[in-house]
């Protein structure tokens, strides 16, 4: 029985850089969607209020909506980006459609949780309308951010 020498493995700097790049690609969509998903989702709501004549705050309303969009949109945005990267979605029509559906679903689930916790005394129709608006804003945001998916 011969005993082999223990191998002295020297780390290859190129392999560690490749591993770091793979990890970055995995988390890149979650970071981008978490950072920009909420404010992008608040823009359709601002445009609706602006063109319907109900925007009483003007630029101040835009800043408040962007802040609330970031606060309430960071978690569903990050979850949408993480799901898109784990599913291996690519920048094509199918990837954009799947990411839009993911964005709407995660925003609707998170919106339902927020509405049930924040508005316990509101009427059910108002709660459902808020969840639908939240899902619509999440879908628009995910559609716009699907541009950052990796190329096929």
pLDDT in tens, 53-103: 776 777 788 888 888 888 889 999 999 999 999 999 999 999 999 999 999
Tell me the three state secondary structure of residue 120.
coil
15 vs 25, higher pLDDT: 25
Looking at every residue in the chain, the average pLDDT score rounds to: 85
137 closest CA partner among 117, 108, 116, 94: 108
pLDDT in tens, 87-99: 999 999 999 999 9
pLDDT at 18: 62
| Separation in Å, CA 21 to CA 14, 15, 18, 119 | 10, 10, 5, 43
38 closest CA partner among 146, 148, 150, 134: 134
133 closest CA partner among 67, 72, 91: 72
- Residue 25 has which token pair? 């690609």
């Amino acid at each position: 029985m011969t005993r082999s020498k223990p191998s002295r493995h020297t780390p290859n700097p190129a392999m560690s850089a490749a591993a770091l790049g793979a990890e970055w690609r995995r988390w890149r969509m979650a970071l981008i969607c978490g950072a920009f998903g909420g404010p992008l989702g608040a823009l359709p709501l601002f445009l609706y209020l602006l063109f319907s004549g109900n925007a009483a705050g003007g630029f101040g309303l835009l800043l408040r909506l962007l802040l609330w969009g970031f606060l309430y949109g960071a978690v569903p945005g990050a979850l949408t980006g993480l799901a898109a990267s784990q599913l291996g979605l690519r920048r094509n029509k199918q990837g954009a459609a799947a990411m839009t559906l993911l964005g709407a679903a995660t925003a609707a689930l998170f919106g339902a949780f927020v509405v049930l916790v924040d508005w316990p005394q509101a009427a059910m129709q108002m709660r459902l309308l808020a969840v639908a608006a939240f899902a619509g804003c999440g879908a628009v945001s995910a559609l716009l951010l699907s541009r950052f998916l990796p190329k096929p």
